[in-house]
Amino acid sequence: MASLAKGRHVSIDLRRMGNANLRDGHSCLMDLLMVAISGIFLFLPALLPNSAAVLFGGGTPVDFGRTWRGKRILGDGKTWTGLIGGVSAGTSLGLLLAILTTALDASESWRWGLGLMPIGVVFSLSLGSLLGDMAGAFIKRRLGMVRGQKAAGLDQYDFVIGALGLTALTYPGWLWAHYLDGEAVIALIALLVFVPLLHRSVNIIGFKLGKKKEPW
């Protein structure tokens, strides 16, 4: 009888350990999912400018129509009104979200910093996004590609590289903490997977609305 009772206790303990491990695994998975979502959320100020630039676009080109080695530097698609409008839209969205997360007392992983720091971070993300987009246009012109011609990879990631690159120069500590340090790498991976899907979806919508000449 004593052996039987002992066996039952061992079986119960094993089930408890299994349930505890299952709960721990589920909790860990949820934590990683939240890291991924927070990474995309914090990158929203860099996701809006390209779409906003299309809406505000037109007018004087950023390169003023100049050429370099017989080819346009950027092209007519990159204008000053698009640049200013895009950066303003991205920065405004970021500041609104920063105010909201502060009001809700969100954790540090969902913030762009404290005090006046969010202004600089969201501006860097927004400006860097369009600088990266213009760098992509510069490369395409050097390769002899016309405006609107599809460039796999470059079209999807030029603004991501620009946004992260400029922010790495202006606020390296913030970028490290939210996208590179430990589990934060999950946020970076989520961006690399999610951004191309979102970019294509937004461009298709813009194409159907007549705001873009190409659906990519």
pLDDT at position 147 is 78
Contact criterion met (CB below 8 Å) for 154 and 139: yes
Q: Quick check: 7 pLDDT over 90?
A: no
Return d(Cα 145, Cα 140) in angstroms, integer: 5
pLDDT at position 150 is 79
Structure confidence at residue 12 as a pLDDT band (50, 70, 90) = low
pLDDT per residue as tens digits for the range 181-202: 989 999 999 999 988 787 777 6
| Average pLDDT for the chain | 86
Q: Quick check: 56 pLDDT over 60?
A: yes
pLDDT at position 9 is 53
Domain boundaries, the chain: 2-208
Q: Quick check: 165 pLDDT over 60?
A: yes
Return d(Cα 131, Cα 139) in angstroms, integer: 12
pLDDT at position 68 is 93
pLDDT at position 26 is 62
Residues paired with 75 in a beta bridge: none
Residues paired with 71 in a beta bridge: 68
What's the predicted TM-score (pTM) here?
0.82
Burial of residue 39 (number of CB atoms within 10 Å: 0-12, 13-18, 19+): buried
pLDDT per residue as tens digits for the range 97-156: 999 999 999 999 999 999 999 999 999 999 999 999 999 999 999 998 887 777 878 888
